[in-house]
């Protein structure tokens, strides 16, 4: 098995890197910078233009950074978030308890710990504005009748597992969204964008965070 290690990215924030394959959870140019730009600025802020009760689905909870940033956004804005995520390979406490996101974001570390420590398939009302649940499941086996307003599609890239980015996946994703729902992904691969279009999404290529030319926003019309 590929061993992982915690490393510091260029904006000072942690990510996890698999030593042999060189695959990381975030951009090495900055984990917080990447997640903030793609999932919060392009995703959550956009969804918040239309609604202030937002149901989010995240594919790949990982370090919990996207959930943590979403929690912070909710605490600073007039918004209620109902957050569901899947993660088949949760990280261990010895790793999540030393992530430097609370320090860099100057926010309560207890919240990030609670996101990680919560039992799978239990719902937690983490604050008046933020409801949260994690499901231990691989995307391939995940099915739901729930509908969401915003999807953070944050799997490892198509080079790692192309099945997560194929037409079956994009069809499943569009069916999980409400009308005008938004999908955000760091991935701007041509085939993925064609699969999104074939499934019925309108796609936009948006300027990526530092080190990434483009990211994808897809909207269900």
Ligand X SMILES: C[S@@+](CC[C@H](N)C(=O)[O-])C[C@H]1O[C@@H](n2cnc3c(N)ncnc32)[C@H](O)[C@@H]1O
Residues that bind ligand X (CB under 6 A): 25, 35, 59-63, 65-66, 86-89, 138-140, 154-156
Q: How far apart are CA 34 and CA 89, in angstroms?
A: 22
> What are the tokens at 121?
């398939």
Least distance in Å: CB of 15 to ligand X?
7
Nearer to ligand X, 50 or 89 (CB): 89
Strand partners, 120: none
Query: CB of 78: closest distance to ligand X in angstroms?
Result: 25
Closer residue to ligand X, CB minimum distance, 63 or 129: 63
Query: Shortest distance, CB of residue 207 to ligand X, whole angstroms?
Result: 20
Closest distance between ligand X and the C-beta of residue 125, in Å?
Answer: 22
For ligand X, the closer of residues 59 and 79 by Cβ is 59
Question: Which two structure tokens, joined as six digits, stand for 21?
Answer: 């394959």
The two three-digit tokens of residue 150, written as one number: 């915003």
Instruction: Judge whether 101 and 87 are in contact, CB under 8 Å.
Output: no
CA 167 and chain centroid, separation: 20
Q: Which is nearer to ligand X, 54 or 66 (CB)?
A: 66
Residues 6+ apart with CB under 8 A from 216: 183, 184, 185, 186, 187, 188, 192, 193, 196, 203, 204, 205, 206
Q: Find the shortest distance in angstroms from Cβ 39 to ligand X.
A: 8
Residue closer to ligand X (CB basis): 89 or 120: 89
């Amino acid at each position: 098995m590929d061993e992982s290690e915690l490393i510091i990215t260029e904006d000072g924030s942690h990510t996890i890197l698999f030593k042999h394959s060189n695959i990381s959870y975030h951009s090495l140019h900055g984990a917080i910078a990447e997640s903030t730009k793609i999932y919060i600025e392009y995703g959550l802020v956009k969804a918040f233009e239309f609604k202030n009760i937002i149901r989010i689905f995240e594919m790949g909870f990982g370090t919990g950074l996207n959930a943590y940033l979403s929690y912070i956004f909710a605490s600073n804005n007039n918004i209620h978030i109902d957050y569901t995520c899947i993660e088949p390979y949760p990280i261990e406490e010895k790793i999540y308890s030393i992530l430097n996101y609370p320090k860099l974001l100057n926010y309560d570390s207890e919240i990030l710990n609670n996101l990680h420590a919560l039992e799978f398939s239990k719902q937690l009302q983490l604050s008046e504005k933020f409801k949260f649940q994690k499901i231990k499941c691989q995307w391939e086996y995940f099915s739901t009748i729930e509908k969401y307003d915003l999807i953070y599609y944050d799997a490892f890239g198509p080079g790692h597992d192309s099945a997560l980015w194929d037409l079956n996946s994009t069809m499943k994703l569009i069916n999980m969204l409400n009308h005008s729902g938004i999908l955000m992904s760091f991935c701007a691969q041509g085939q993925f964008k064609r699969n999104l279009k074939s499934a019925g999404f309108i796609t936009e290529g948006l300027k990526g965070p530092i080190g990434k030319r483009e990211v994808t926003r897809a909207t269900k019309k």
